[in-house]
Amino acid sequence: MKLIILGKPSSGKGTQAKLLAEKLNLKHISTGDLLREELKLKTPLAKKVESYMKAGSLVPDSWILELIKNNLPEDNYILDGFPRSLSQAESLAKITKINLVLDLFCEDDLIIKRTIRRRICPNCGAIYGSTLIPKVKDICDKCGSGLYQRPDDNEKTIKNRLQVYNNDTSPLIDYYKKRNIYSKVDGSLSIKEVQSLALKKITTIK
């Protein structure tokens, strides 16, 4: 099974992709996470992509496609944060056939609120925010590490990221509708509700 999880920043893509990957035994491939790992390891690629990520702009396709090629298995995966433009979707279509695109829809004002509140565990990758609040402030429930805020999770950058989504990523909705693999889920619901709706949509895959 090959899935894409689509949506604005903070629509819940990472949270839902992790849950679905665990439940359905899929590899979770997040281009954002792969890029943040490059930054952490201070690789040569990190120097090239850092300014784009800081600004909330799209990293050029050649580097993203290289990351995808190096991390894409034959089958059984969920893509999170890729593709983000028609050119990326076309490149992906040349190498594989996707079964379903789940689009977690949220209004912009909710996205801005969620982004500013989002905190991440640097150790286990758990994501906290408006719907999942850690028991102890800024401490991960799962592993006890201190949580951090992504440098691009601020009001100025999120506005640019939303603009990038509207200009470059939202045309993917029609692209995948035309290919009959598009499915919309209300991303404003609770984590559990979104997951159960997503799982229902997945059972419709032929």
Residues lying near ligand AMP in the complex (CB under 6 A) are found at: 9, 31-32, 35, 52-53, 56-59, 64, 81-82, 84, 88, 152, 161
In the bound complex, what is the minimum distance in angstroms from residue 146's beta carbon to ligand AMP?
20
36 as an active site residue: the answer is: no
Of 65 and 198, which has the nearer Cβ to ligand AMP? 65
Residue nearer to ligand AMP on the CB measure, 53 or 98: 53
- Tell me which of 2, 8, 36, 84 is the catalytic residue: 84
Task: Indicate if 150 belongs to the active site.
Answer: yes
Q: State the minimum distance, in angstroms, from the CB of residue 40 to ligand AMP.
A: 13
What is the DSSP code string of 102-122? EEEE--HHHHHHHHHH-EE-T
Residue 136 C-beta: closest distance to ligand AMP, Å: 25
* Catalytic residue selected from 150, 159, 177, 201: 150
| Active-site residue flag, 117 | no
Q: Is residue 84 among the annotated active site residues? A: yes
179 is catalytic: no
DSSP per-residue codes, the chain: -EEEEEESTTSSHHHHHHHHHHHHT-EEEEHHHHHHHHHHTT-HHHHHHHHHHHHTPPPPHHHHHHHHHHH--SS-EEEES---SHHHHHHHHHH----EEEEEE--HHHHHHHHHH-EE-TTT--EESSSS--SSTTB-TTT-PBPB--TT-SHHHHHHHHHHIIIIITHHHHHHHHTT-EEEEETTS-HHHHHHHHHHHHTT--
Least CB distance to ligand AMP at residue 135 (A): 25
For ligand AMP, the closer CB: 81 or 129: 81
Q: Which is nearer to ligand AMP, 54 or 200 (CB)?
A: 54
What residues are annotated to the active site? 13, 84, 118, 150, 161
